[in-house]
Amino acid sequence: MLGNFTYCNQTAVHFGPDSMEALKSELDKYGKKVMLTYGGGSIKKNGIYDKVVKILKECGKEIFEDGGVMPNPTVEKLAEGCKIAKDNDVDLILAVGGGSTCDYAKAVSVSAYCEEDPWEKYFIRFEEPECKIIPVGCVLTMVGTGSEMNGGSVITNHAQKLKIGHVFGYKVFPKFSILNPEFTFTVPRYQMVSGIFDIMSHILEQYFSGDDVNTSDYISEGLLLSLIDSAEVAVKDPTNYEARSNIMWTATWALNTLIAKGKTTDWEVHMLGQAVAAHTDATHGMTLAAVSIPYYRHIMPYGLPKFKRYAINVWKVDPKGKTDEQVASEGLDKMKAWMEKIGLEMKISNFGVTKDMIEKIADSTLIMEGGYKVLTKSEIEEILKACL
């Protein structure tokens, strides 16, 4: 049953090999001063930086550079970006990069004119912005987060050992995003595979909650089938356009609010993964991969009908002559085998986590209430131990 909801997504997506052609008309909608935000330099190596700067110059824009956004962007970097944006009164933030760059651009957009400490206001108290919001546009170069068409922004505070995401409302969504699958061809295999699992996790976080029949879960199953097939192709042949384009579009729809409509959602895998990352700075999708199977095995008895459905509809488990538990468990076995096959990290010890860190990581793990089981702290510790 689908309850009440509003669906509205203001991000204009320009997709495909020629999508950069749309950048000019998008830029024409904004003033002269553009803050060009990017990461650690991959866009300079693969030529995307030159392409973007050429178009910005053709459009007569004044460019304010803000490079060096790190994976898992920090509060310190956020303060730096706010200063550049505010001191120069920029009209648009153009984020060229992956989820970290896009997330950071959104954080700067709501923080530059914020009169309070943005970390406290947005990432601890989860309040919405009341100040002027600088518009954001994205040129996506790495696929996974869905940041190109959502209000999510994840910031890390190393001093407090917290990595926290705020899902902002529609006002904070990027105004436009350029999605050229060919731009992702240079992403290193480790990052590509991590992004693929991030997509899978986004879908599962929304799927493994509730037992009613709704369109959102059927869409999720379709997205998963596309992702599983395309990932296997991309791992063997990273420049396969068909596979990379399917993965890119699946990532966008996995987390642009559509498949959460009319249903409850979980997000505990992300809370566990983010806590691991806060203590290790490990790659986002890999942290999710390393905690997923032990978490899902733990909650499976509480959400058995959905885990059975997942096994049959997504992993094609034959239910004949098997108990519901056997079918559900076989589905997770198949998921694990696929994860190993595409080269995901399956243990948090691979990021340097040791037994004596478990209690602190559990303290950094936020507890969600929408999944099949609201975890206790000792259950979190038990799951994390099983991930070592």
Angle between helices 189-207 and 284-299 (to 10 degrees): 40
**Shortest spacing between CB 269 and ligand NZQ, in angstroms:** 10
By CB under 6 A, which span of 40-48, 117-125, 299-307, 330-338 interacts with ligand NZQ?
Answer: 40-48
DSSP codes joined into one string, 232-279: HHHHH-TT-HHHHHHHHHHHHHHTSSGGGTTS----HHHHHHHHHHHH
Residue 284 lies near ligand NZQ (rule: CB under 6 A): yes
The answer to whether 130 and 121 are in contact (CB under 8 A) is no
The separation between the first and the last C-alpha atoms of the chain, rounded to the nearest angstrom, is: 39
**Rounded to the nearest 5°, which phi and psi values hold at 15?**
-115, 145
Question: How is residue 378 written in tokens?
Answer: 């000792």
Q: Which does 191 bind (CB under 5 to 8 A by kind): ligand NZQ, Zn ion, none?
A: ligand NZQ
Q: Which residue in 61, 270, 298, 306 binds ligand NZQ (CB under 6 A)?
A: 270
Q: Which residues contact 86 (CB under 8 A, 6 or more apart)?
A: 112, 113
Closest residue to Zn ion, judged by C-beta, is: 198
Residue 292 lies near ligand NZQ (rule: CB under 6 A): no
Residue 290 lies near ligand NZQ (rule: CB under 6 A): no
Q: Which residue in 100, 250, 256, 292 binds ligand NZQ (CB under 6 A)?
A: 100
Residue 46 lies near ligand NZQ (rule: CB under 6 A): yes
d(C-alpha 94, C-alpha 139), whole Å: 8
**Shortest spacing between CB 246 and Zn ion, in angstroms:** 19
**Shortest spacing between CB 271 and Zn ion, in angstroms:** 11
CA dihedral 231, 234, 235, 237 (to 10 degrees): 160
Q: Within 10 Å of residue 334's Cβ, how many Cβ atoms? A: 17
The answer to whether 177 and 99 are in contact (CB under 8 A) is no
Q: Which residue in 109, 177, 180, 191 binds ligand NZQ (CB under 6 A)?
A: 191
Our CA angle for 307, 290, 105, nearest 5°, is 100
d(C-alpha 315, C-alpha 120), whole Å: 42
**Rounded to the nearest 5°, which phi and psi values hold at 130?**
-115, -15
Q: Which residue in 99, 135, 210, 371 binds ligand NZQ (CB under 6 A)?
A: 99
Residue 146 lies near ligand NZQ (rule: CB under 6 A): yes
**Shortest spacing between CB 327 and ligand NZQ, in angstroms:** 29
Q: Which residue in 30, 37, 39, 276 binds ligand NZQ (CB under 6 A)?
A: 39
Q: Rank residues 296 and 330 by Cβ distance to ligand NZQ and give the closer one.
A: 296
Q: Residues interacting with Zn ion, by CB under 5 A?
A: 198
**Shortest spacing between CB 267 and Zn ion, in angstroms:** 9
The answer to whether 192 and 42 are in contact (CB under 8 A) is no
CA dihedral 363, 365, 371, 374 (to 10 degrees): 0
**Shortest spacing between CB 330 and ligand NZQ, in angstroms:** 28
Q: Which does 206 bind (CB under 5 to 8 A by kind): ligand NZQ, Zn ion, none?
A: none
Q: Which residue in 81, 118, 137, 144 binds ligand NZQ (CB under 6 A)?
A: 144
**Shortest spacing between CB 195 and ligand NZQ, in angstroms:** 5
By CB under 6 A, which span of 123-131, 178-186, 294-302, 353-361 interacts with ligand NZQ?
Answer: 178-186
d(C-alpha 335, C-alpha 265), whole Å: 20
Residue type, 336: K
Residue 150 lies near ligand NZQ (rule: CB under 6 A): yes
Residue 137 lies near ligand NZQ (rule: CB under 6 A): no
Residue 66 lies near ligand NZQ (rule: CB under 6 A): no
Please list every residue from 194 through 253 that binds ligand NZQ, using CB under 6 A. 195, 198
Question: How is residue 178 written in tokens?
Answer: 């350029």
Q: Which residues contact 224 (CB under 8 A, 6 or more apart)?
A: 200, 203, 204, 207, 314
Residue 365 lies near ligand NZQ (rule: CB under 6 A): no
Using CB under 6 A, list all residues that contact ligand NZQ: 39-43, 46, 71-72, 97-101, 103, 141-142, 144-147, 150, 152-154, 165, 183-184, 186-187, 191, 195, 198, 255, 270, 284-285
